[in-house]
Amino acid sequence: MSEIFSGLDTFQGLPDIILAIDSKLHQIAVRESKHVKVPVIAFVNTDADPDEVEYPVYGNNKAKTSINWFLGKVREVLAETKAARAQAAAEKKAAAEQAAK
């Protein structure tokens, strides 16, 4: 049981968003997320209710290639967001240094 819940020990607070590969399989996590008002992005197959998640992505969540595609897209967005935040921080720092001169 500890291997299932051990990752929760390091939580400092609620996450900004939950990512689920199978909203039907992880319906308890989806319901709990709704309860605490944490939005859910989920890869939703035809056997699941898309209304259960705030951001459904429709596809075959039983096929490894589909899951890899979905996670690849998530990875791309995260990398773009990280780069944009780093650029914004660098620009803010440069503007602050310029203003200090």
CA neighbor of 18 nearest in space, from 74, 86, 66: 74
pLDDT at residue 4, as a whole number: 67
CA 23 to chain centre: 13
What's the predicted TM-score (pTM) here? 0.71
Q: Where are the domains of the chain?
A: 1-62, 63-101
Residue 90 predicted with pLDDT over 70: yes
Count of other CB atoms within 10 angstroms of residue 40: 21
Candidates 3.40.50.10490, 3.30.420.10, 3.40.50.1980, 3.30.450.20; correct CATH number of 1-62? 3.40.50.10490
pLDDT at residue 93, as a whole number: 92
Average pLDDT over all residues of the chain: 90
Count of other CB atoms within 10 angstroms of residue 72: 10
Count of other CB atoms within 10 angstroms of residue 44: 23
- Give me the residue label for tokens 């791309």: 76
Q: Name the band, by pLDDT with cuts 50, 70 and 90, for residue 1.
A: low
